[in-house]
């Protein structure tokens, strides 16, 4: 869910049917580095310690100590205007509900919400797990992702982006995980995908584990993609040795989600998140 346009469905099919990319152009080429700079593989095992959690048990507004909001039209030529109104984002029935609505607002035809932990909780390495039920239908584009906390200083994709889960409503059963770096972003992002049974009807666990040497992406404990640190550093393929923050959003339309239009008969759309948990090793 990057700051730039997605590649077309045709390119998606030709380049790699099993990955999604967030768009944009590379801002720096990878600089070759000695093989010795590649981190030693992280051994398996060891306990995880919970360092951030929201179980969304208290109805009403989100906890401002944990969550902030994006406001306005942000990226990707999306059709919605993001708000912090209770109509678009609230805790209800034990879930965080992000609701996309068809309504005129601030010159846009749709509203929705995007929440994040920027400046509130930022972390380096660890495990992110989100249990969620996705909206579905042509035009929807929900995501769970992270961005480098230095994005305001270095920009995108130099900050690094980890897409833990993306889904587009015109391909409702396919879940994508993708990594964006200066060495590979947009159509050149690295990722994979898998088919999930009924993500619009049932809750599933979407997770990422981030180590010094790799990033693993999962659905329901099934690992389907690993991105490895090649030692090329922050200007290459690994801008992932500094803090990142978490984002949850529901986009409508846009350069990827809107490739087959928007079905107005399906609104409102509800994206339900049961919990967010972030762990550190040890």
Catalytic residues: 161, 166
The closest alpha carbon to 278, from 117, 135, 143, 163, belongs to: 117
How far apart, in whole angstroms, are the C-alpha atoms of residue 266 and residue 12? 26
Per DSSP bridges, beta strands 140-148 and 161-166 are: antiparallel
Q: Which residues contact 14 (CB under 8 A, 6 or more apart)?
A: none
- The Cα–Cα gap between 166 and 60 comes to 26
131 vs 58, 113, 255, CA distance in Å? 17, 18, 26
Give the Cα separation of 91 and 89 in Å (integer).
7
Q: List CB contacts of 152: < 8 A, sequence separation 6 or more.
A: none
């Amino acid at each position: 869910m990057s700051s730039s346009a997605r590649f077309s469905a045709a390119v998606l099919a030709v380049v790699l049917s099993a990955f999604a990319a967030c768009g944009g152009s590379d801002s720096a080429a990878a600089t070759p580095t000695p093989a010795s700079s590649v981190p030693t593989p992280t051994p398996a095992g060891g306990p995880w310690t919970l360092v951030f959690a929201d179980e969304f048990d208290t109805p009403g507004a989100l906890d401002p100590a944990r969550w902030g909001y994006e406001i306005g039209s942000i990226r990707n030529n999306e059709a919605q205007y993001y708000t912090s109104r209770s109509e678009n984002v609230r805790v209800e029935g034990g879930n965080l509900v992000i609701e996309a609505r068809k309504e005129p607002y601030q010159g846009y035809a749709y509203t929705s919400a995007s929440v994040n932990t920027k400046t509130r909780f930022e972390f380096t390495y660890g495990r992110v797990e989100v249990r969620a039920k996705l909206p579905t239908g042509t035009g929807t584009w929900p995501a769970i992702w992270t961005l480098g906390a230095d994005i305001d200083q270095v920009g995108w994709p130099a900050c690094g982006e980890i897409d833990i889960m993306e889904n587009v409503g015109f391909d409702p059963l396919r879940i994508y995980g993708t990594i964006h770096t200066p060495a590979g972003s947009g159509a050149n992002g690295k990722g994979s995908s898998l088919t999930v049974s009924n993500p619009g009807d049932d809750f599933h666990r979407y997770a990422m584990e981030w180590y010094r040497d790799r990033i693993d992406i999962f659905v329901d404990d099934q690992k389907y993609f690993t991105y490895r640190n090649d030692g090329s550093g922050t200007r290459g393929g690994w801008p992932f040795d500094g803090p990142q923050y978490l984002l949850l959003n529901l986009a409508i339309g846009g350069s990827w989600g809107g490739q087959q239009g928007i079905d107005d008969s399906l609104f409102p759309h509800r994206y339900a998140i049961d919990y967010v948990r972030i762990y550190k090793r040890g």
